[in-house]
A and B are shown apart, each in its own frame.
Chain A
Amino acid sequence: MIVLKSSDGETFEIEEAVALQSQTIAHMVEDDCVENGIPLANVTGEILAKIIEYCKKHVEGGGGSEEELKIWDKEFIENIDQSTLFNLILAANYLNIKTLLDLTCQRVADMIS
């Protein structure tokens, strides 16, 4: 289990497989600096919760079919407000979660086009 700490002091305990979807966290784990939990100074608790929700679903391909996962993604991304979307992009970029970054950026591209 890995502990993540948001910028506003919230802590989240999650399974390693879930956390490793973030390349940034994966590198930290490799470099072995995760003993007291990982502080994420750029991510608030609210956004981190959303990210964890996404990562949990996407662990090992989501457990369902590809179609089901796409539908879940669509619902996930359509139900967030612009402010959350904005912060999600920045956090996905910082945490280096490619699939989430793709999803959020595509969403914004769709909104502005």
Chain B
Amino acid sequence: MDEELAMLRHLIGQLQELLHNASPPPPPPPPSSPSSFYLLHHPHYQNRWCLPCIEETSADDCCDIVMAAGKRPGIFKMLETAKPPHVKRSRKERRSFTQGDDDTSGNMDQEIWQEFPQDLFEALLSRLPIATFFQFRTVCRNWNVLIDSDSFSRCCTELPQTIPWFYTITHENVNSGQVYDPSLKKWHHPVIPALPKKTIVLPMASAGGLVCFLDIGHRNFYVSNPLTKSFRELPARSFKVWSRVAVGMTLNGNSTSHGYKVLWVGCEGEYEVYDSLRNVWTKRGTIPSNIKLPVLLNFKSQPVAIHSTLYFMLTDPEGILSYDMVSGKWKQSIIPGPPHLSDHTLAECGERLMLVGLLTKNAATCVCVWELQKMTLLWKEVDRMPNIWCLEFYGKHIRMNCLGNKGCLILLSLRSRQMNRLVTYNVVTREWTKVPGCTVPRGRKRLWIACGTAFHPSPTARA
């Protein structure tokens, strides 16, 4: 409770500061660089690869150590040796690759792979682990051209969906995001240079690899790909809403190249939809009167998107409010919540709606997972956190934040006065896994997650 008060005071302070300062405009698009290497610290490049600007390394980010050791992953050698379309190689370059190679990674025999056809590169690159894209500090011209190409984008969308990553704001570091990669169990500390620095910006929703942010003053929306820093500031909304809003995001097709939509809805029922293809806010309206208002949205619960429908959790009456982005229709479903439930949030797995929450009976607290039965519109319990883990919470007042709006992986942040636990739950394999603590550079404490969103990491999503 104390921590929350401190955070609230901090946030109010920030808001006051914001009201006295103008926020800086986003940087203009960069001129194209003549050199063939794009270096890291170029905060003005919006659509270029801008890798984590980590001034101090944290123990969690060993990618820096790898790069510092001077190892150059095999992929760069391959890219450099490929025959790019109109570039003439100097005699000097040609000589350097037939000399012996001190390639220490991957043992790729250059003599064989240098003939690899350009058009198959994309098939290879799209299969690299996402973390590879996230780690590279310097890239060559070919790499950038490839990443930006439509055919590479198509290759990536054809592959099966990856495990979601989580973009979070931790309670101490409200000014930058901490991204968790569950496949490698690593935390990354990206900086999105285009986001305004003087205000707190919160991740609210995601779709197709893009994360939608809203600043704490509820004024401006921003959409960015945390891996590539592709960025867009959305135009101002038609009308201001000072109350809390719930935000949902959907793709029009199966990738960002077909555009996306962002919906915000306030608790008086006012809402608006942003259309990325036309770059305008549209469909402004109020939730129809057949739905009981005021709508008490559970703002702590993230809305969940399944295809083009958004699902919001309602507190009173208990149930779900859904909005179809295509037809523009709202629908309310009354669904009684499980008893003794707190800190509950909606989650999604394979087009099924799930509910995750804390069940407290007497002094015992446990994390439970329910699935919505479509036929009966009732929650059915499908799993619980193993007893041994729950014992740790016995008699303590536990708060939980949960991120599960994408994919079948749910990130849970459990905290009490003395303790802090981060856990992931895989809905498909029913596995509960501990998450390594997130420590930021210069930080000491293990942090708990204040808010965030799951997202599917995509090197090609464009805002």
Q: Which residue of B lies closest to A87 (CB)?
A: B112
Given A86-B113, A89-B120, A112-B75, output 7 extra A-B contacts at Cβ < 8 Å. Answer: A82-B113, A83-B112, A106-B127, A111-B107, A112-B74, A112-B124, A113-B106
A93 and B120 contacting across the interface, CB-CB below 8 Å: yes
User: Which of these, B105, B124, B129, contacts A108 with CB under 8 Å?
Assistant: B124
**List of B residues within 8 angstroms of A108 by Cβ:** 124
- Nearest Cβ distance between residue A29 and chain B, in whole angstroms? 25
Residues 83-96 of A, flagged 1 when their CB comes within 8 A of B and 0 if not, give 10010011001000
Q: Which residues of B contact A (CB under 8 A)?
A: 73-75, 78, 105-109, 112-113, 115-117, 120, 123-125, 127-129, 132
**Closest 9 CB pairs between A and B?**
A112-B74, A109-B127, A112-B106, A105-B123, A112-B75, A111-B106, A109-B128, A106-B127, A86-B112
**List of A residues within 8 angstroms of B109 by Cβ:** 82-83
Interface size (A, Cβ < 8 Å)? 14
Residues 40-73 of A, flagged 1 when their CB comes within 8 A of B and 0 if not, give 0000000000000000000000000000000000
**List of B residues within 8 angstroms of A83 by Cβ:** 109, 112
Q: Which residue of A lies closest to B119 (CB)?
A: A93
CA distance in complex: A112, B128 (Å): 8
Residues 19-53 of A, flagged 1 when their CB comes within 8 A of B and 0 if not, give 00000000000000000000000000000000000
Q: Which residues of A contact B (CB under 8 A)?
A: 82-83, 86, 89-90, 93, 101, 105-106, 108-109, 111-113
User: Which of these, B74, B117, B125, B129, contacts A111 with CB under 8 Å?
Assistant: B74
A113 and B75 contacting across the interface, CB-CB below 8 Å: yes
**List of B residues within 8 angstroms of A93 by Cβ:** 120, 123
B127 and A105 contacting across the interface, CB-CB below 8 Å: yes
User: Which of these, A86, A101, A106, A109, contacts B116 with CB under 8 Å?
Assistant: A86
B117 and A90 contacting across the interface, CB-CB below 8 Å: yes
Given contacts A82-B108, A82-B113, A83-B112, contact A113 B120 (CB under 8 A): no
User: Which of these, A82, A105, A109, A112, contacts B112 with CB under 8 Å?
Assistant: A82
Q: Which residue of B lies closest to A107 (CB)?
A: B127
- Nearest Cβ distance between residue A4 and chain B, in whole angstroms? 22
